[in-house]
Amino acid sequence: MNARYHVIHETIYDYATPVVQSRQLLHLAPRDCAWQTCRSHRLEIAPVPALQQARSDAFGNPVMQFAIETPHRRLAVRAESVIEVRSRAALAGTPSPPWEAVRAALAYGARPVRLEGARYLFESPYVRAKHEFAAWAAPCFPPGRPLLAGAQALMQRIHREFEFDAGATTVATPVLQVLADKRGVCQDFAHLMLSCLRSLGLAARYVSGYLLTQPPPGQPRLIGADASHAWVAVYCPEAGGGGRWVDFDPTNDVLPDTQHVTLAWGRDFGDVSPLRGVILGGGEHALEVAVTVTPWDNA
Amino acid sequence: MPRSLLTTYPGNSGRFDEMLAADGELRPAWRSFCAHLDAATPEQMRHRLDYVRRRILENGVTYNVYADPKGADRPWALDPLPLILAPDEWRELSAAIAQRARLLNALLGDLYGAQTLLRDGTLPPALVYGHNGYLWPCRGIRPPGDIWLHLYAADLARSPDGRWWVIADRTQAPSGAGYALENRLIVSRVFAEQFRDLRVQHLASFFAALQDSLARWAPQDEAAGKEAPLVVLLTPGRYNETYFEHAYLARYLGFPLVEGSDLTVRGDRVYLKTLTGLRRVHAILRRLDDDYCDPLELRADSALGVPGLLQAVRAGQVLVANALGSGLLESAALPGFLPGACRQLLGEELRLPSVATWWCGEPAALDFTLANLERLVIKGAFPSQRFEPVFGNALDGAARAVLVARLRARPQAYVAQELVAYSQAPAWSAAREPALVPRGVGLRVYVAATPDGYAVMPGGLTRVSAEADARIISMQRGGSSKDTWVRSDAAVDTFSLLKHSIGKADLVRSGRKLSSRVVENLYWFGRYAERCDGTARLLRAGLARLVDADAEPALRSVFELCRALRRVPEKKAEGAAEGTAEGTAEGTAEGTAEGTAEGTAEEGGPAPAPERNPTNSPAGARPATAAGAASPAAASSPVPPVPRARIEALLLAAVYGAAEAGHPSVGLGGDIRRLLWSGAQVREHFSLDNWHALKRLQLRLERYAEAAPTTEVADALAFLDRELLASSSLAGFALDNMTRDDGWRFLMIGRRIERLCFLADAVGQFLRLASTRAAGGVEWLLELTDSIVTYRARYMAQPELLPALDLIVFDDGNPHAVTFQMLILLRYLGSLSGEGGSFAEGARSGEHREPTELPRNEALAALLARLQAFDLARFEGLDFGVCRDCGPCFELAALLGEIAAAAGALSDRLAMCYFTHVEDAGQQTLLA
């Protein structure tokens, strides 16, 4: 079953003193892939940038860089997209090889060389490969268990044992700390699951996107209450050199399907943060982010 | 065959000896040099060693060691004896090095591009995707001419069989070429005849090739056409361990030395912020590490880089050398895969082998490593690991087990290397004379990209181990260095960069390239230089009166003036005990009842601050103008006399400038340190002689400070005499040896503002203080203002107040008079008109900037008019010895107070108008 969504992602910075120069990097345009097509995308930036350049990053995500060179007290970025999402339940449903076989297929010397997976096999700034993670994840990966079954068990364990707590962590909280404290937000759970998988020698990537929050029965959808979301995708090699990526959402313990809208993917949050920038001036600042995901028919 | 020196030199030690062949005979390339050495007298050698030591100190050749408790600057260590290489040997070696540069360049092209070596399995993905030096945002960028490496260096060692091996590759910002150059300049003078007779190849052509290649591959301005591209050298700053070299190379190559905050990206181009606006930068030779270069796309926490630089590179609007991301190849794991990569990429066999290396990420290599641990050294595979090399043969059972466990847990993070056997070469021992001692040596060679392929520097930096049998050679661990003499069998190319031929179009007259940071530092340099002068005169006037018992009243009044101008250290407790009404030295200018507008008084602030201070003053410290002292209460407050011994102690302490706990360093020593700090920021703008004068000043201060606890008045006076001499030679350099650009103008404005403040404050205070009425008062005032000789020549009589005031306040021909400073200042300010302005304006209009509001001189001009209208006749018939709070003295003092305040305000306005960047507001990286 296909779905269409209307996504509005608004970011507003209010600065205490004028910002005289600002340069920002945006990952706000949803990427196209086998199960998703971006039908329209519009970006509004205020004040109007002196320069605006769109390109693709090294992971194939659309990225926009802009620069503002006039003094301003407020920066507002509004991205509006219409996205069509198709079901990909079949990707997760097909049997997978034992996880040790996947590890062997990704090790150096194995043929064919699986570069697509190798990119997401090692440590990255927010993801660590350490024996603590391998040890914690080991019960989910007993000998011979198929890769995807192991990944699902890992996802379930994280969901079961970790508490969602928006106040517990920041962007800078190390993933080892998250493992110790057993609490965090979707980003932390994604980084934790990636650390476990990569510590075992498996390839997995960080996916940033949106989630259509189901309202409780009888209540209206909370506009603006939704936020950007994050989950992971695991690389499952196929005979002959190809491979498929299967998504897992440890925050909700679900296999993402048509209720997840993909924005971008990379090694971790740092590669795909929706908005990243350097400003000169500004002093203290207040940040407001609002994401609205509505079925397109309702919009 | 000379044998006397060699009799004590241990020959065959199982290593390769650079000087002696296996049979104990001298190698042919060394024969003539050794004969010369043997014929030299001990005196000659001592002179040579002295020369080397002096040159290094005077040229300020340093190597900063971060963790060195002795402070940042450690003198560079240079052994006078060169390492000599024969022509045929060099030919082979340099061809092999050039091939390696070609290979590494091609490898970067592949890894940031098509990645064929990863696809076909030649290279393990872990060495690329697992290396945090692989900059993902650089993927797909192709640098101009496909040159990733413009300057590459390889560390070489020679095994007992005489073969050279590569032990490390330096691919992102290789250091040491400047030190090699400096070593050459010194050693080629020490052994001038030998240098010529042995036909040693010169280094200049190599650096010229580097210059040319940067200029050639830099993007061109469509419009300008003929204008030479602007190439800058980007440094992380003076706390980097090789900062000396950055400044040295920048001057030698003629590139402005810039820090990240000097550059800005507007649109997708890079600009240098200069006094006269933004100037486009076409190429950047960087000494900043890869990931620090752009906080927007690379390390977000870098404050050293230039936001947007990567986008400018991507757009092809600036050349960055070496290309961003080239640090990827600085991996201990890579060498084992280079032979295969060489066949794949170049279709050639690798000519120069690396030290045998096994990457433990391969199961077979791990097995081999574990089985042969005692003859291997284990290193981290990636430079970011901070893993100290472990020598297998030095491990006991437990440590060995720990290491084995680490290797098994994360084999891909480690490499095993064969132990490196360095060759040995003779070094001159200062301890035993005459004596040659064997020392382990390694050679760092440099390669530059040129349009005709890679060119190898004929020579290089020879690094010398601290002990005879070192396993590691490191400058950080106390090693030394040597010049490297590559002999030629043909005529030597004597091309010199110092005689570069320049066409008419290349002529540069103005200092348009001056960055605001540089100008600001020159300004403060001028102020500190002048302040040192004033402080020294003041202290000398006091100390000279200490030795003369009759001069007691004069001593007390000089001392009071010192305190009023805050040139002596004082403790809070004392100030309180003495119960003075005026602010103590620690107090900022407290508003007095009169509330005169001397708002600029500030504490001196800490001497050389380790961080760049975001406020206007580059050194984080400005000369304090002695405004608080203007309080009229000072004249009448009943002050119990300070004991004579205390005066002596305080004056002596003020010379040395000791910072008392919790207080900024007050006094001459503090002023000199701040002067040296500002000077160090802009050293590339001083002539070598000027720099030497500064270094000597520093050495003298250090020596004086060391002896400070036992210093006597006579020592202090001698020090002050020499300081004043140094000070006048600095002034001479500034007048006679610096180009009249805006940098010079600001230096001179700094000097004049400081001298104006000093004169106005000192004379004003003099007129207010009661104690100055004592005999001999006018005489020391003239001394203080360096006008006593002029006075005596004019009046041939005991100094009197009226003619003295005429000379030091009103005489516009006396360079130590108040009116003279004001006239000159107004002239300099006038010549700045039409140029200066704030960068916020320049920012928007690109290359051009509309002149904005200039610092207004009307206030100063009005004060000058009032001063000139002051009727000196009012002092006629006045008996200065007995007058108290008389009208003329008080009025003139008040006017001088206003002038000092106006000078301070002018300084602030200059800073806002010319130096302040928008960056003062701070830079931050944000994620959302």
Task: Chain B: give the shortest CA distance to residue A136, in Å.
Answer: 15
Locate the domains of chain B by residue range.
83-333+421-493, 358-417, 516-619+636-917
For the beta carbon of residue B391, count every other beta carbon within 10 angstroms: 15
Q: How many CA atoms lie within 13 A of B64 on its CB side?
A: 13
Tokens of B77: 């260590």
pLDDT band at B473 (very low <50, low <70, confident <90, very high): low
CA torsion, ordered B788, B789, B791, B792, to nearest 10 deg: 110
**What does pLDDT average to over chain B?**
80
* Cα distance between residue B849 and residue B839, in whole Å: 8
**Nearest by Cα to B791 from B802, B804, B801:** B804
CA B740 to chain centre: 23
For CA atoms B530, B532, B535, B541, give the dihedral sign: negative
Q: Choose the most confident range, by mean pLDDT, from B232-241, B387-396, B613-622, B707-716.
A: B387-396
Task: Chain A: give the shortest CA distance to residue B307, in Å.
Answer: 7
Tokens of A174: 């190390």
Residue in A17, A171, A273 closest to B921 by CB: A17
pLDDT of residue B53: 86
pLDDT of residue B729: 85
Which residues of chain B lie closer than 8 angstroms to A274, CB-CB? Answer: 928
CB contact under 8 A, B926 and A271: no
CB contact under 8 A, B925 and A278: yes
B687 bridge partner residues: none
Which residues of chain B lie closer than 8 angstroms to A71, CB-CB? Answer: 840
Closest-CA residue of B relative to A64 is B311
pLDDT beyond 70 at B483: yes
Which residues of chain A lie closer than 8 angstroms to B311, CB-CB? Answer: 53, 65
pLDDT beyond 60 at B510: no
Instruction: Please check whether residue A63 touches B, CB under 8 A.
Output: no
Which residues of chain B lie closer than 8 angstroms to A203, CB-CB? Answer: none
Instruction: Confirm if B338 and B332 have CB atoms less than 8 A apart.
Output: no
Element (H, E) at B73: strand B73-75
DSSP assignment of B208-253 equals HHHHHHHHHHSPPPTTT-SSPPPEEEE---TTSTTHHHHHHHHHHH
* Cα distance between residue A86 and residue A258, in whole Å: 6
Q: Omega of the bond prior to A142 within 30 degrees of 0, cis? A: no
* Cα distance between residue A99 and residue B18, in whole Å: 57
Q: Which CATH architecture has domain B358-417?
A: 2-Layer Sandwich (3.30)
Q: Give the contacts of B401 (CB within 8 A, at least 6 positions apart).
A: none
* Cα distance between residue B767 and residue B380, in whole Å: 72
* Cα distance between residue B503 and residue A187, in whole Å: 61
Task: Chain B: give the shortest CA distance to residue A253, in Å.
Answer: 25
pLDDT of residue B727: 85
Query: Which tops the pLDDT comparison, B768 or A52?
Result: A52
**Nearest by Cα to B783 from B563, B536, B526, B568:** B536
DSSP assignment of A202-261 equals --EEEEEEEE-PPPPTTS---TTBB-EEEEEEEEEE-TTS-EEEEEEBTTTTB---TTEE
**Is B271 exposed, middle or buried (CB count within 10 Å of its CB: 0-12, 13-18, 19+)?**
buried
**Ordered domains of chain A (ranges, CATH):** 3-85+273-298 (2.60.40.2250), 97-272 (3.10.620.30)
* Cα distance between residue B869 and residue B857, in whole Å: 18
pLDDT beyond 70 at B658: no
pLDDT band at B74 (very low <50, low <70, confident <90, very high): low
B881 residue type, one letter: G
Query: Which tops the pLDDT comparison, B608 or A48?
Result: A48
Tokens of A66: 């802009």
Instruction: Confirm if B674 and B664 have CB atoms less than 8 A apart.
Output: no
Q: What is the mean pLDDT of residues B81-88?
A: 95
How many residues make up chain B in this entry? Answer: 928
Q: Give the contacts of B868 (CB within 8 A, at least 6 positions apart).
A: B810, B819
Hunting for tokens 């006039």 — which residue is that? A70
Closest-CA residue of B relative to A109 is B121
**Is B599 exposed, middle or buried (CB count within 10 Å of its CB: 0-12, 13-18, 19+)?**
middle
* Cα distance between residue B788 and residue B215, in whole Å: 57
Instruction: Confirm if A77 and A290 have CB atoms less than 8 A apart.
Output: no
* Cα distance between residue B374 and residue B59, in whole Å: 45
pLDDT beyond 50 at B499: no
Test mutation, A119, A122, A205, A228, chain B, max B CBs within 10 A: A122
CA A132 vs CA A137, B130, B829: distances in Å: 9, 19, 67
pLDDT band at B919 (very low <50, low <70, confident <90, very high): very low
Closest-CA residue of A relative to B123 is A108
Q: What is the mean pLDDT of residues B82-100?
A: 96
Tokens of B402: 């720990």
CB contact under 8 A, B264 and A21: yes
Interface confidence (ipTM) of the complex: 0.94
Query: Which tops the pLDDT comparison, B74 or B649?
Result: B649
Instruction: Please check whether residue A49 touches B, CB under 8 A.
Output: no
Instruction: Please check whether residue A116 touches B, CB under 8 A.
Output: no
B618 residue type, one letter: P
* Cα distance between residue A272 and residue A60, in whole Å: 11
Task: Chain A: give the shortest CA distance to residue B361, in Å.
Answer: 8
Identify the three-state secondary structure at position B659.
Answer: coil
CB contact under 8 A, A115 and B125: yes
Q: Give the contacts of B722 (CB within 8 A, at least 6 positions apart).
A: B700
Buried residues in B889-919 as b, exposed as e (16+ CB within 10 A): bbebbbbbbbbbbbbbbbbebbbebbbbbbb
Antiparallel, parallel or unpaired: β B257-258 and B263-266: unpaired
In the DSSP assignment, the letter for residue B574 is H
**Nearest by Cα to B556 from B287, B777, B838:** B777
Closest-CA residue of A relative to B844 is A69
Which residues of chain A lie closer than 8 angstroms to B361, CB-CB? Answer: 108
* Cα distance between residue A286 and residue B928, in whole Å: 11
pLDDT band at B224 (very low <50, low <70, confident <90, very high): low
CB pairs under 8 A between A and B: 124
Task: Chain B: give the shortest CA distance to residue A267, in Å.
Answer: 10
A42 bridge partner residues: A80
pLDDT band at B381 (very low <50, low <70, confident <90, very high): confident
Q: Could you give the maximum distance between any two Cα atoms of chain B, in Å?
A: 105
pLDDT band at B46 (very low <50, low <70, confident <90, very high): confident
Hunting for tokens 């079901």 — which residue is that? A87
Task: Chain B: give the shortest CA distance to residue A236, in Å.
Answer: 18
CB contact under 8 A, B362 and A278: no
The long-range contacts involving B64-69, CB below 8 angstroms and separated by at least 24 positions, are B64/B239, B64/B240, B64/B241, B64/B242, B64/B243, B64/B244, B65/B241, B65/B476, B66/B239, B66/B241
Residue in A20, A67, A289 closest to B921 by CB: A20
pLDDT of residue B773: 78
In order along its 299 residues, chain A shows pLDDT tens digits of 688 999 999 999 999 888 888 999 999 999 999 999 999 999 999 999 999 999 999 999 999 999 998 889 999 999 999 999 999 888 888 899 999 999 999 999 899 999 999 999 999 999 999 889 999 999 999 999 999 999 999 999 999 999 998 888 888 899 999 999 999 999 999 999 999 999 999 999 999 999 876 665 666 665 555 788 999 999 999 988 889 999 999 999 999 988 899 999 999 999 999 999 999 877 788 999 989 898 887 54
CB contact under 8 A, B140 and A123: no
**Is B770 exposed, middle or buried (CB count within 10 Å of its CB: 0-12, 13-18, 19+)?**
middle
Closest-CA residue of A relative to B922 is A281
What values do phi and psi take at B564, rounded to 5?
Answer: -65, -35
pLDDT band at B519 (very low <50, low <70, confident <90, very high): confident
Q: How far from each other are the two terminal CA atoms of chain A, in whole angstroms?
A: 19
**Nearest by Cα to A252 from A217, A202, A198, A211:** A211
* Cα distance between residue B291 and residue B300, in whole Å: 9
pLDDT band at B239 (very low <50, low <70, confident <90, very high): low
CB contact under 8 A, B928 and A289: yes
CB contact under 8 A, A115 and B265: no
Q: What is the mean pLDDT of residues B504-517?
A: 54
Test mutation, A195, A199, A280, A289, chain B, max B CBs within 10 A: A280
pLDDT beyond 80 at B781: yes
Instruction: Confirm if B893 and B870 have CB atoms less than 8 A apart.
Output: no
Q: Choose the most confident range, by mean pLDDT, from B166-180, B609-623, B629-643.
A: B166-180
pLDDT band at B918 (very low <50, low <70, confident <90, very high): very low
CB contact under 8 A, A21 and B918: yes
A 197-256: CB under 8 A from B: none
* Cα distance between residue B236 and residue B258, in whole Å: 9
Which residues of chain A lie closer than 8 angstroms to B296, CB-CB? Answer: 23, 25, 65, 276-278
Tokens of B633: 């209460």
Query: Which tops the pLDDT comparison, A76 or B560?
Result: A76
* Cα distance between residue A155 and residue A168, in whole Å: 20
Q: What is the mean pLDDT of residues B604-622?
A: 32
Which residues of chain A lie closer than 8 angstroms to B924, CB-CB? Answer: 278-279, 282
Share of chain B above pLDDT 70, in %: 79
Which residues of chain B lie closer than 8 angstroms to A13, CB-CB? Answer: 926, 928
- Work out the angle at residue B722's Cα, subtended by the Cα atoms of residues B717 and B724, and round it to the nearest 5 degrees: 95
For the beta carbon of residue B43, count every other beta carbon within 10 angstroms: 8
Instruction: Please check whether residue A123 touches B, CB under 8 A.
Output: yes
Beginning with the edge strand found earlier in the chain, give each strand of the sheet holding B269-274 in spatial order.
Answer: B263-266, B269-274, B277-280
pLDDT tens digit sequence for B828-875: 888 774 444 333 333 333 333 333 444 557 888 999 999 999 988 888
pLDDT tens digit sequence for B706-736: 777 777 888 888 889 988 888 888 888 877 7
